[in-house]
Chains A and B, each alone.
Chain A
Amino acid sequence: MRARILAAIPAVLLVLVSLWETVAARHDATSVPDDAAWAHAAQLVRAQHQPGDLIVFAPGWVDPVGRLHLGDLIPVEMAARMDAARYGRIWELSIRGAEAPEVAGLAPVLSQDVDGVMVRRFERAPAVVLSDVFATQPGLVAEVGFEPHRCIQLVPSPGRPATVTVPMTLGSRLVGYAGLADVFTRRDIRAPGTLAVQIGGREVARVTPGVDDGWVRFDAPTTPGAADVTFIASADAPQRQICFAAEARQ
């Protein structure tokens, strides 16, 4: 009998794998919540939404669907934010058990499953932003690390740094990010770029984002008060589109 069972195993396994695949393929294809589910979830958000609430979606690939239903509550500046610290209320709409990085470590004050779309709201004390680098220039929305970021872009020539000075009202910290914009120049030119930050002629931060580093954070202690903050972009290679943003936080 044992020999017969052993002899049967390969065929039984093949049949089971085949039947599993037949069922699983159709199940997978219908496992993602549809527009009706998203519309219901969006209703829940809209009912309690307050101006300035951040709305995020997880996993990242479902972001277009989320914006289809709630994009009118997500202005370009919010979608292309430097980071999420200035937002005290965050809505997360997620599927498939995913979690947005913006809410990692936070506990939800609201959590509701709406037809497969998990709606959660998080509340926390936001960072108090006294000023940012966009006071004198609007910046642009660039792709850095395949994500949108509103930033000021400097393109230094090799050996000739590019500089911009921004008058800011400083708090206790200057928090910023820098990265290399444009996937194609990152592909073709592999050298990193450098951003140095000076306040009153003294360097307070320096980051050197490479082509695969994305949006790199810097954080420097500052003395509260008005000051000119100088950002110096440099690179040994041409076409380094160094994008940066920074906020003075209390």
Chain B
Amino acid sequence: MSTRITRLVGCALVVLTIVVVMVNQRDVGIARDETVYMGAGARYWHWFMHPAAIEPTWGGPLGGGNNPEHPPFVKELEGISHAAFSGVLGEVAAYRLPSAVLHGACVGLVFWMTLSLWGFAEAVIAALCLLLLPRALFHAGLAAFDAPIMTLWFATVVAYWRCIGPGRQAKPGDLHPRGRKWPWQVGVAWGLALATKHTALLLPFALGVHYVFLAWRAKKPLVHWRVAASLAVLGPLVLYALWPLLWTAPIAHVSAWLKFHTHHVHYNFEYLGTNWNHPRFPWHVALVTTLFTVPTATLAAAVAGAGVWIARRGTVDRDRAPVLLLALSAAASIGPFFLGSTPIFGAEKHWMPVLPTICIAAGVGAVWAARRFAAAFAKVPERVAIIAVGACIALAGTTEVVTAHPYALTWYSALAGGSPGGADLGMNRQFWGVAAKGVLPFLRSQPPGLVYAHDASPAWGWYIKDGLLPGGDGDAGHETEGIARSKYAIVIHEKHFNRHDYLIWSAYRTTQPVFVLRADGVPVVSVYRRP
């Protein structure tokens, strides 16, 4: 297949991903945290256009409206995107566009790396597997950091792999290529990752072990010292350059940033029927959650691919050991969640960088299985076998994506029994209050009145601004005072939010909701009306 066609296919997959994300997100409600990121992004962009004192826009208390506890790169992109595209896409979609574009980029990077190392068929299937992950697709449609950090994490891995490659100065037959002379890409990529989310700090564990392995094998401790220098110098420099808050007191602000996350409050999160909000957490949270939130067909193909990698270890790009690199990347991303002390709230969104490795393994496994089949049955052309296996895996993923939409946080894969199976198992129902958007049509059909919106309270003004609710359906306020003022009250069903039901029962003197929004039969939001 010509390079031109493979490039076109790769580009088509990137564009397709961005389009799917942007279409998908239209039905997804506004997440509580998004409201903070969107507001901060707009202010950051305004500051760049109208420079002023740093602290009022970028500083303030951690957890406050300026969001200084998260580095700014994606919020800056959101601010730019909003300024450029809100007239075309609408306010919320414009803020969400950068995450969608970065998700498309991740699909492109997966396609490219897989194509470079294994082949076209593997690359297409791997890219499709990544595109057809319901939870990842959901997160990519939010103006948040979880899909972007997956992209920039993986971009760093790819850049590292490229930078330790032979480079232009390599000589034929050079057993230990010296790598690129100026490997700036890896440092910049990691800097962007750092400027997106603190979890990028886990990446050096993967890259470091890989580096040590290469150095040990080459018996040259400084075999790729330029790459290490790029990471050590350019990474922090990019973070510094992109985060004006660091321009004032870099050490103090970096220290406060990291301390915030190493001492982060444990939000409530349901797992296997238990509400967890305090360590020690079960060691298997990440394992079971991944099993239930990645389509089973993709996982099965990934298991086959992992088997192929083990059986054929050292045969693919031996000099750079990319399979080891992918495995280490996955381990660094998901490993901390086996410790029992790492916060588990948010679940799979916090270890999303594991997904490119899983999807590449799936592509490799699917094609390997198809080729074995074709080799055994000569009448079946290899191409037909690959298309058949790949299409079946993609069909399963597509079905899961369609099923999950738009309440993907309530969705679990067929392995768990779907959303109802997830509820039976006591898996987390949802978080961030996004499902509240689903009850807006019902509220619109009712006489106007203040709404007790609890977790969706930060999004309420956005919904009214978007015309999804009349102005008379404003947010009633918080807790008992808000309920006392309200005519309607919603409960976004999470185990620890049961308390809102009881507060409403006491105030309204009824246990009967007037509307219950469900995802595949599973309650996600109840609406009460004051009798």
Contact = CB atoms under 8 A, between A and B. Distances in A.
Contacts of A30: 520-521
Given A18-B392, A76-B509, A29 B499 contact: no
B495 A71 contact: no
A233 B517 CA distance: 40
Interface residues of B, number: 66
Given A11-B369, A15-B389, A59-B423, A80 B377 contact: no
Name which of A3, A25, A62, A71 has the most chain B CB atoms within 10 A of its CB.
A25
A61 B399 contact: no
Contacts of A33: 521
Contacts of A10: 304, 365, 368-369, 372-373
Contacts, number: 185
A190 interface: yes
B146 interface: no
Nearest to A76: B505
A55 to B, nearest CB: 10
B388 A25 contact: no
B418 interface: yes
B contact patch SS: helix
A185 B246 CA distance: 35
A148 B501 contact: yes
Interface stretch (A44-52, A138-146, A196-204, A216-224): A138-146
A74 B513 CA distance: 12
B317 interface: no
B414 A28 contact: yes
A223 B413 CA distance: 57
Contacts of A211: 278
Interface in B388-417: 388-389, 392-393, 395-396, 399-400, 403, 413-415, 417
Contacts of A190: 278
B377 A187 contact: no
Contacts of B423: 59, 61
Interface stretch (B176-184, B227-235, B295-303): B295-303
Contacts of A195: none
B502 A142 contact: yes
Name which of A18, A62, A74 has the most chain B CB atoms within 10 A of its CB.
A18
Interface string A15-59: 101111110111011111110000000000000000000000001
Contacts of B368: 10
Name which of A64, A70, A98 has the most chain B CB atoms within 10 A of its CB.
A64
B186 interface: no
A161 B491 CA distance: 35
Contacts of B268: 183, 187
Interface residues of A, number: 58
A24 B526 CA distance: 27
Interface in B472-531: 491, 493, 495-496, 498-499, 501-502, 505-506, 509-516, 518, 520-523, 526
B516 A65 contact: yes
Contacts of A62: 523
Nearest to A62: B523
Interface string B268-288: 100000010110000000000
B396 A11 contact: no
Nearest to B496: A183
A193 B277 CA distance: 19
A129 to B, nearest CB: 21
B245 interface: no
Nearest to B388: A15
A97 B366 CA distance: 37
B403 A65 contact: no
A7 interface: yes
Given A7-B375, A148-B498, A80 B505 contact: yes
Given A21-B295, A32-B420, A7 B373 contact: yes
A98 B425 CA distance: 12
A67 interface: yes
A18 B520 contact: no
Interface string A206-243: 00000100000000000000000000000000000000
Contact of B301 (A3, A14, A67): A14
Contacts of B510: 71-72, 76
B352 to A, nearest CB: 21
B413 to A, nearest CB: 7
Interface of B: 266, 268, 275, 277-278, 295-297, 300-301, 304, 365-366, 368-370, 372-373, 375-377, 385, 388-389, 392-393, 395-396, 399-400, 403, 413-415, 417-421, 423-424, 429, 491, 493, 495-496, 498-499, 501-502, 505-506, 509-516, 518, 520-523, 526
9 contacts: A8-B372, A10-B372, A18-B392, A28-B417, A31-B420, A32-B420, A67-B512, A68-B512, A190-B278
